[in-house]
Amino acid sequence: MTSWIGQIENAHTAADVVAIVRDYIALWSPEEIASLPASVRPGRVRDEADIADLHDRLVEAYRNTRATGDALATLQRLTGFMARASIRIAELGGTARRELEDDAPSYPRKALAPKR
């Protein structure tokens, strides 16, 4: 049986990653979801942008948490998983990479002359 992270690593498209994230979250119990801070309880995951948004919120919640024990472990587990999903989407050229490119300077680049 392949682990959830292994499935993300083997994903061929950003849409594959989205589907894996949906399946992963669907297996969480209502009690696990309830133990998360309200701001990071996963809702509907439609696309890569939803994954990036949830990842950002999870990182911020983790940074500011005072949770301990099971609540902290649950937050860490989801944060780590969503971090890996976000990274894989960027590797595949999904939303995260486009956002970085949008922030790049918009000056023209010189084309290199072909070597002879």
Using one digit for the tens of pLDDT, what is the confidence trace for 10-37? Answer: 999 999 999 999 999 999 999 999 999 9
Q: Residue ranges of the domains in the chain?
A: 4-102
Q: How many residues make up the chain in this entry?
A: 116
- CA proximity to 28, closest of 15, 8, 10, 45: 45
The H or E element containing residue 63 is: helix 48-64
Report the alpha-carbon distance of residue 68 to residue 70 in Å, rounded: 7
Report the alpha-carbon distance of residue 18 to residue 23 in Å, rounded: 9
**Low-confidence residues of the chain: pLDDT under 50:** 96-101, 104-116
Predicted structure pTM score: 0.78
Scanning the structure block, which residue is given the tokens 């993300």? 8
DSSP single-letter state for residue 42: -
